[in-house]
Amino acid sequence: MPRRLRQLPPAAAMLANALLVAAAILVLWQAAILIFAPPPFMLPSPLRVWRALVAWPELITRDAATTLTETLMGLATGAIAGAGLALVMAFSPLVRRVLMPILVVSQAFPVFAIAPLLVLWFGFGIGSKIVMATIAIFFPVASAFHDGLTRTEEGLLDLAHLYRVGRLKELTFFRIPAALPALASGLRVAAVYAPVGALIGEWVGASSGLGYAMLMANGRAQTDVVFAALALLAAMAVLLRAAVDVATRRIAPWAPENLA
CATH class as words, domain 48-259: mainly alpha
Nearest alpha-carbon partner for 129 in 204, 76, 30: 204
Q: pTM for this structure?
A: 0.83
Question: What one-letter code names the amino acid at 219?
Answer: G
For the chain, percent helix, then strand, then coil, each to nearest 5? 85, 0, 15
pLDDT tens-digit profile of 117-176?
Answer: 888 888 778 888 888 888 888 888 998 998 888 887 777 767 677 667 777 777 777 788
DSSP secondary structure string for all residues of 195-221: HHHHHHHHHHS-SSSHHHHHHHHHHTT
Amino acid letter for position 71: T
Residue ranges in the chain whose pLDDT is less than 50: 1, 5, 259
Break the chain into its structural domains and give their ranges.
Answer: 1-37, 48-259
User: What pLDDT, on the 0 to 100 scale, is given for residue 1?
Assistant: 47
